[in-house]
């Protein structure tokens, strides 16, 4: 199963991806997590990405495309993967298509978590508070000022992917404002139809 989770920052992509990992036994490929790990490790990529991420802007397509292309060739991705926070631009979407085609595999579906922007800042603030309470590091970009920029980036560069995947017949919208369990149920319902259809079509 190859799935893309689409939606603005704070929509719940990471939370739902983790549930999908547990249920389907395929990895979550979060470019945000991979970039944060690179920053933490002080790699060349991490050094180049840090300031951009702290400002809430997008890291270059070339960097993230290279990271994902390398990651999907790992053995744990053989049965499929969940792309979380990638692709985020039309250039990245074209890159995904090329990567999959090169490897003779297909994308099953793109799930868009549809949310109300006004609720998102509250979710981000809560995520930062929860991380702090749990003694975990708080993401530098999880604050209202940077969040505004991340949301602007989303509308400018990522939202066009909704039309891109709709035109390809791949897009399925899910109500991201419902409870976490209800969103999971709705995503599973989408997968039950789209993934089966893709499997029969092969």
Residue numbers of the site for ligand AMP (CB under 6 A)? 9, 31-32, 35, 52-53, 56-59, 64, 85-86, 88, 92, 141, 150
Q: Is 48 among the residues known to form the active site?
A: no
Taking the C-alpha atoms of residue 107 and residue 104, their distance in angstroms, rounded to an integer, is: 10
Closest approach of Cβ 66 to ligand AMP, in Å? 11
Q: Is 127 among the residues known to form the active site?
A: yes
Closest approach of Cβ 146 to ligand AMP, in Å? 8
Q: Is 2 among the residues known to form the active site?
A: no
CA dihedral sign of residues 163, 169, 171, 175: positive
Q: Is 150 among the residues known to form the active site?
A: yes
Which of 2, 50, 150, 157 is labelled catalytic?
Answer: 150
Q: Which is nearer to ligand AMP, 17 or 183 (CB)?
A: 17
Task: Assess contact for 20 and 82: CB atoms under 8 A.
Answer: yes
- Where do the DSSP E strands lie in the chain? 2-6, 28-30, 81-84, 109-114, 171-175
Q: Which is nearer to ligand AMP, 71 or 198 (CB)?
A: 71
Q: Which is nearer to ligand AMP, 92 or 184 (CB)?
A: 92
Q: Which is nearer to ligand AMP, 146 or 183 (CB)?
A: 146
Which of 71, 139, 140, 170 is labelled catalytic?
Answer: 139
Taking the C-alpha atoms of residue 190 and residue 195, their distance in angstroms, rounded to an integer, is: 8
Closest approach of Cβ 192 to ligand AMP, in Å? 26
CA neighbor of 2 nearest in space, from 90, 111, 158: 111
Taking the C-alpha atoms of residue 180 and residue 146, their distance in angstroms, rounded to an integer, is: 25
Residue 177: alpha-carbon gap to chain centroid? 17
Active site residues: 13, 88, 127, 139, 150
């Amino acid at each position: 199963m190859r799935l893309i989770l689409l939606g603005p920052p704070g929509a719940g992509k990471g939370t739902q991806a983790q549930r999908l990992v547990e249920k389907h036994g395929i990895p979550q490929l979060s470019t945000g997590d991979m970039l944060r790990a690179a920053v933490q490790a002080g790699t060349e990529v991490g050094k180049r990405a840090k300031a951009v991420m702290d400002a809430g802007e997008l890291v270059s397509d070339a960097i993230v495309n290279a990271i994902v292309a390398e990651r999907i060739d790992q053995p744990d991705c053989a049965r499929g993967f969940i792309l979380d926070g990638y692709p985020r631009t039309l250039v990245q979407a074209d890159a995904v298509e090329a990567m999959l085609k090169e490897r003779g595999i297909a994308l099953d579906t793109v799930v868009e978590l549809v949310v109300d922007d006004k609720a998102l800042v509250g979710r981000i603030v809560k995520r930062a508070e929860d991380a702090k309470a749990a003694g975990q590091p708080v993401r530098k970009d999880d604050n209202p000022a940077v969040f505004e920029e991340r949301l602007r980036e989303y509308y400018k560069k990522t939202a066009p992917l909704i039309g891109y995947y709709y035109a390809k017949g791949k897009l399925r919208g899910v109500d991201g404002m419902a409870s976490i369990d209800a969103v999971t149920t709705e995503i599973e319902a989408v997968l039950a139809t789209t993934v089966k259809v893709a499997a029969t079509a092969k």
